[in-house]
Each structure stands twice: as structure tokens, then as C-alpha cells.
Structure 1
């Protein structure tokens, strides 16, 4: 079996289609830039959303997110051409790691979940501001041959 590759990298064609908060330095694109020193910061009040668009439809095996002060993740997926028509993927509460990085592995209740877009929702936080450092998606591209 081939080694797993992160499908959520800008260098692999992934992009951030939408984010609910913006910061000049700590922008949403930092979550997929492969630089461990960069991150996206949210600006108070919840929920906050980040829509990740992959270069093609994939079978999502797992999502790994590193963040700080996130209390609950809700994830939705879509196979539509544009980021719309989302369906539930999973949700998970996250323990407060004080001032340390949280690493969360999210798995779908359906191991055959397909996605072109992933809506990552910070439903609540342990503090007024949260940060998302990296989003990693492991999965298998779906063959377009019929």
C-alpha cells in the first residue's frame, strides 16, 4: 500500500474557498501551507468556518487538525462542483490543552465518505480566540473513469 500523502496542501492543489475571519498575517491559507510556524486565527464569537476545497473528489480516510483553544469541531463534506450542499461528516469535542497545541483526528461515521469540499466548523472555543495551525486530509482520489 502506498504511503499516505496529505491531500490538503496548497502545493498539491488544495485551496481555502472561504473563511469567516481574516487577519493580515494569520490568514486561513496558513492552514494548508506546510509551514508549522504559521496559523489562522479566529476573531471572537462562534461559530467560525473554514471551507477547504480539494483538487478532486476523494474518499476521506481521516482528517487531522492541529489547533489551540478549540472546544468543538463539526465537519461537513460536499461532492458538489462548488462548495455547497454539505452533509454531516463528524463532530468531536476537544479537551482544553491550556496553552499547548491540540491535535485531533476526525473520522467519518461512514468510511466511504466522499468529499471535494470540507467545511470545518469551530462550534465553540475554550477562549474568545482560537487558532488553526494545520489541516491534514488523508484519503484516496476517486477515479473519474466510469
Structure 2
């Protein structure tokens, strides 16, 4: 299955609320397991990934630490100003261990 949310396929992080200079938001989509994004601000955190073309997204895989809740939204506006929720899930708390979650969504979107 194609991982369309990789920078090598043209995906871009166009917004991140906060980040650490050593762990920038671009790490979200670089495909490397040894890199990651760290947010440094208050909650909630937010980032936007833009795809180069319309995508039929079935599953979003998230590997994280200390995430309580994730909401996934889609947007089709070039201005990225209107979004619609497509998934909202609570994560199991793992006390500092890796959280690996596959979130089922099904929509066609240009984000």
C-alpha cells in the first residue's frame, strides 16, 4: 500500500503550531523511524499535511508518546480554513511507552 503522506510523494507539512528546532514538523512525513516531531507548546497541538493530489485515505497510522486524543480533519480549500472531522479517537495511555495506532478513515480529499 502506498504511504501517500511521505515527502517523497509530494506531501508537505504546511502548518505546525509548535516545534523543537532539533525535531521539526517535516520529520512527520520523512518516512524515517529514527526521526520525529516534538511539540513545545500548550495543548492542543495541530499540524496540517497537504497532499499534491486528491487522495483516498483509508488508514492513518500514528506512532507517538503521551497522546491522549487525536482528531483527524479533512479540508479541500486551498486556504486551509474550513475542515470537517473524519475521525476522533482516544488513545490508550502507555506510561511513556510507544503508542502505535491505526485510525480508520475513509474519504477523498485534497489537503
Q: Distance in 2 between matches of 1:53 and 1:92?
A: 22
Q: Which residue of 2 aligns with 1:134?
A: none
Deviations 1:116-146 (A, max 9, x none): 22xxxxxxxxxxxxxxxxxxxxxxxxxxxxx
**Range 97-106 or range 60-69, more displaced:** 97-106
Higher strand share: 1
TM-fit CA distance, 1:29: 0.4
Inter-partner Cα distance in structure 2 for 1:35 and 1:60: 21
Structure 2 residue runs of 5 or longer lacking an equivalent are none
1:47 matches 2:49? no
Among 114, 119, 141, the residue aligned to 2:108: 114
Give the superposition deviation at 1:62: 1.0
The answer to whether the aligner puts 1:88 opposite 2:82 as a matched pair is: no
Instruction: Give the CA RMSD over aligned residues.
Output: 1.2
Instruction: Identify which of 61, 65, 69 aligns with 2:62.
Output: 65
Correspondence for 1:78: 75
Measured in 2, the distance between the counterparts of 1:98 and 1:44 equals 20
Q: Counterparts of 2:13 and 2:99 in 1: how far apart (Å)?
A: 21
Query: What aligned pairs does 1:27-46 form with structure 2 within 5 A after superposition?
Result: 27-46=24-43
User: Structure 1 regions of 5+ residues with no counterpart?
Assistant: 118-146
Distance in 2 separating the partners of 1:81 and 1:66: 28
The TM-score normalised by the length of structure 1 is: 0.72
Count matched residues. Answer: 111
- Secondary structure of 1:7's counterpart equals coil
